[in-house]
A and B are shown apart, each in its own frame.
Chain A
Amino acid sequence: MSQSSDELSVIGRPLPRVDAAAKVTGVAVYADDLNLPRMVHCRILRSPHPHARIVSVDASAARRIPGVKAVLTGQDLPIRFGIMPVSQDERALEAEKVRYVGDPIVAVAAVDEEIAAAALDAVSVEYEVLEPVMSIEQALREPPDEPIHDPAYTHRPFNVHRQLSYEFGDVGAGFARADYVREDVFFYQGNTHLPMEQHSAAATYVDGRLTLWTSTQVVHYVHRALAKVLELPMHRIRVIGAAHGGGFGGKTDPFAHEIIVSKLAMVTGRPVKCTLTREEVFYAHRGRHPVLMWIKTGVTSDGRITAMHYRSALDGGGYGSYGAASAFYTGTLQTTTYDIPAYKFDSVRVFTNKAPCGPKRGHGTPQGRFGVELHLEKIAHDLGMDPVELKRKNFVEPFTRAVNWLRVTSCGLEECTRKVLDASGYLSRDRRPGRGMGFAISSYMSGAGTAIYWNDMAHSEVQLKVDRTGVTAYCGAMEIGQGSDSVLASVVAEELGLMPADIRLVTADTDTTPVDLGSYSSRVTFMAGNAALEAARRMRNLLVQAVAEKMGVRGDLSEIEVRDGRIGDFSFEETCELGTAKFGALSTAGSYRPPRIGGPFKGSGVGPSPAYSYSACVVQVGADARTGIVTVNRLWIAHDVGRAINPLLVIGQVEGSVYMGLGEALMEEQTYRHGRHKWPSMLEYKSPTFLDTPEIETFIVETIDPEGPYGAKEAGQGPLLPVVPAVAAAIYDALGVWLDEIPITPEKVLRALEARRKGDVPRYGPKAFPTFDFGEPIRVQPPDPHDMRIGVELEEAFRRARGVAAGEGLRPADAKGGSPPSC
């Protein structure tokens, strides 16, 4: 149901966030702020070797230190866990083998942190050191000593973790009819989230019940992991999301320290807290995968894409994390911006002896986006076309289905493009050596269409309680700074004629709040928002009915106004009493589950989303040919958010995403030297300061998506994506050299200029994509581009196509793949 903006009282207003006061007064309680009586502190001993077998662990000396209350080793936590069902490959404490410098081995709980830290020094561990594997190329070859993981787990050769290969349509035919074909290779280095708040968790175990407060984005997934590893039923475990100091995808895995403090609480009977040091946060990681890419595209002479073949190789680090999905994301969303009639996509993710990679803002799509945008820039230049013109020629139309079955609904790509081109003057820019502008576009999901673990249940549930004291909304969604609390309050307030500050919120507490899968893949506004909308409309109906009865109104109740704290002739407070008198306890629920969207093939679950956001960006740089130093002077970003539930919060997310994109483009990198993180410190890992971040001009575009709550789509990740290629495009504009590798540092710019001076290809970047046999692809018939069916209707169509009778269980083919690791 879409409403025009003038009918809305709350939605669309730039109101302060509902938790603003707590945050600006310093009273919000983050996990490390917790101080419980008799609390003990935990520190973790981590592997000093990138790759080694653990021969023996002797913690006896540590146990004897006065003040040490408990010591755990791998024997105490043998059950494996992992965020994805197909990657249950982690242990809270490793007993057999360590796979990166930082892998947890032993945990000590002591009366203070000082003693716990000192006690780690008293633990002796004997290792059989193994040769580490530190690059994608190495991982694709025979390992020198042994593979990082048991081949019985991966079912793959060498250190390959996952691989996939798809062909949608006929790329051979597509290339054959192209007038021009180009191939490029790119590399996107890994980087990390660097939240200001270090991970922290505190646990108590009282009367057979475990309570964990933690800095997380996903109380529900943590809940499941605790139940599995600690062998406790879920109803005896309570996970509470503490106030959250930044995640960006870095706190979406269940973590060793969360399981460890829980176990220590069970063992000691005392509250236990563990806060990671900044160095340990670099080891927890789960950040941006380093990705090597090869892209080949065929175009007609006027720039229309006829076929694309995209390959990626991901450096996954020591464990699976979200990596099975990350691989898909590097190549799946290309088709939500460009009309690609035939598309082949191969990807391989490898294990290396580094901290595990996972989802960081954009989750696999920034890498692919960087490659594709620059690749198309180059094609445009080869054809003598303006890159903007070429890209625009290939923009998807709204309400079409892509060659890989992704369903595009509202699409503000054109409007976003126009806005940034107009604001920046890109098309009529003053061309001067050393100054340049670059343009790029992108798209992102508003929530993954499939849950992390296969189930038939809602992805988000909201419950409302209304009584004579007011309204309370319960939802498992986690406020991570993105404004999800405010979105929930705004939706409920809008429907009930109240203001967000009137809505009491209980969120992210597994005892009291219904399940929301978590704050990742930009799903919360869309999914929790829709669930809240359903719950709130149900409540509104009940309240209107009670008022109608009192007012003697029958039949059409739509004339009873719900607005400005009143319902009909009554104040909201009076209405609550009327409602309670009529119905008893007033309680409604709402939920949201994305309909089936993906195509009829195994693996179709990664990529589909109920709606995609769109972004366009122009960056203006100054680039010094002598020093290679690049300065971003100005940046224009337009973001199609569907509908801005709260423009203040949307702009905040857009600017924050842009900032992170700039950091990645120019200075952030998670690199390794001598088998370990080169510089796990906030000084050496460069993230931009006030003085490194330009003025950002933001434009909100609203396309009012038919399925988003009030038409809303995501804003928390999409705006990062176009920034990185726009910077590279701007540097080409300024200096005439291609930087095909991220981050773009001054020495790389100089190397590219040197290459040009020597008459070589004027670029800096990887030479080649490694040789890897992807095998036969899964060949998928593309859909009719106008086939917009979803959900039951789509599933029916697939059933019929497969000749499966209705009623027979049809599990979307992406559900499971691979088998669990051997334990």
Chain B
Amino acid sequence: MLNELDRPIQREVLTLCVNGEDHQVLVPVHKTLLEVLREDLGLTGTKHGCELGECGTCTVLIEGEPQLSCLLLPIQIEGRDITTVEGLGSTSELHPLQRAFAELGAAQCGYCTPGMLLAGRALLDQNPSPDRDQIRAALAGNLCRCTGYSKIVEAVELAARRGGAE
């Protein structure tokens, strides 16, 4: 571990398109997308629970597909649209999923929520009226310790009924 400090750092200038905005960043190539979003772009809405791909907390959308940002290198996804929770909606204009989560109590501590919302968004974009089994299967890579999942499933259903796909 100590000897790693002797290694040179390969830095890259990368253009990352995040939530519809282009950002040019100069980052070490070994910094994961999770770290670049949070530490270089100040987008701390994307959370982390394990950094090993075991919990789903760090889920972002890459071209609309849920992927684990803790296991992505920006250099591998340069040029592909990245959506984080900040790009889903704002307090002035909540996405139907955000509204449904708020209304039904699907967010308690809120820490798994960004990842859940994005996984839900990807599902509804692909399948505008999923049944409960499909919702559970699509979100099965996202862990939550607060809700017991029921309200999250109901919120995705509610958002679907309200036309949650964009």
Chains A and B share a contact (CB less than 8 Å): yes
Q: What is the interface of chain A, defined by CB distance below 8 A to chain B?
A: 14, 16-17, 19-30, 32-33, 35, 65, 114-115, 117-122, 193-198, 243-246, 248, 277-278, 480-483, 648-649, 651-653, 655-660, 681-683, 687, 689-691, 693, 695-696
Collect the chain B residues with CB atoms within 8 Å of residue A16's CB.
102-103, 105
From 29 to 53 in chain B, residues with beta carbon under 8 angstroms from any chain A beta carbon are 38-39, 42, 44-52
Q: How many residues of B contact A (CB 8 A)?
A: 61
User: A278 to B51, alpha carbons, bound, how many Å?
Assistant: 8
Q: Can you list, as one digit per residue, whether each of B111-139 has a CB less than 8 Å from chain A (1) or not (0)?
A: 11110010000000000000000011101
Q: Could you pull out 20 A-B pairs where Cβ atoms are within 8 angstroms?
A: A17-B105, A21-B102, A27-B45, A118-B1, A118-B4, A196-B109, A196-B146, A197-B109, A245-B109, A246-B111, A246-B146, A652-B105, A655-B151, A659-B148, A682-B49, A682-B50, A690-B139, A690-B140, A693-B149, A693-B150
On whether the beta carbons of A23 and B113 are closer than 8 Å, the reply is: yes
Collect the chain A residues with CB atoms within 8 Å of residue B104's CB.
648
Contact of B12 with A by CB under 8 A:
no
On whether the beta carbons of B94 and A25 are closer than 8 Å, the reply is: yes
Q: What is the interface of chain B, defined by CB distance below 8 A to chain A?
A: 1-2, 4-5, 38-39, 42, 44-52, 54-55, 57, 84-86, 88-91, 94, 98-99, 101-105, 107-114, 117, 135-137, 139-153
User: A115 to B28, alpha carbons, bound, how many Å?
Assistant: 14
Q: Which of B86, B111, B139, B147 contacts A30 (CB 8 A)?
A: B111
User: A196 to B112, alpha carbons, bound, how many Å?
Assistant: 7
CB distance from B81 to the nearest CB of A (A): 18
On whether the beta carbons of B1 and A660 are closer than 8 Å, the reply is: no
Pick from B4, B5, B88 the residue with the most CB of A within 10 Å.
B5
Collect the chain B residues with CB atoms within 8 Å of residue A481's CB.
108-110, 146
Tell me the number of A-to-B contacts counted with CB atoms below 8 Å: 181
User: A481 to B110, alpha carbons, bound, how many Å?
Assistant: 7
Say yes or no: A683-B54 contact (C-beta < 8 A), given A22-B110, A198-B49. Answer: yes
Pick from B2, B52, B57, B151 the residue with the most CB of A within 10 Å.
B2
User: A655 to B136, alpha carbons, bound, how many Å?
Assistant: 16
Pick from B101, B137, B148 the residue with the most CB of A within 10 Å.
B148
On whether the beta carbons of B5 and A65 are closer than 8 Å, the reply is: yes
On whether the beta carbons of A682 and B55 are closer than 8 Å, the reply is: yes
On whether the beta carbons of B44 and A25 are closer than 8 Å, the reply is: no
CB distance from A534 to the nearest CB of B (A): 27
On whether the beta carbons of A652 and B108 are closer than 8 Å, the reply is: yes
On whether the beta carbons of A691 and B108 are closer than 8 Å, the reply is: no
Say yes or no: A21-B91 contact (C-beta < 8 A), given A26-B46, A687-B143. Answer: yes
Q: Which of A32, A119, A277, A483 contacts B108 (CB 8 A)?
A: A483
On whether the beta carbons of A23 and B107 are closer than 8 Å, the reply is: yes
On whether the beta carbons of A25 and B145 are closer than 8 Å, the reply is: no
Known contacts A19-B110, A32-B48, A114-B5, then 4 further A-B pairs from the complex at CB < 8 Å, ordered by chain A residue? A24-B98, A195-B111, A196-B55, A197-B109
User: A656 to B4, alpha carbons, bound, how many Å?
Assistant: 43
Pick from B42, B84, B98, B144 the residue with the most CB of A within 10 Å.
B144
On whether the beta carbons of B148 and A197 are closer than 8 Å, the reply is: no
On whether the beta carbons of B102 and A118 are closer than 8 Å, the reply is: no
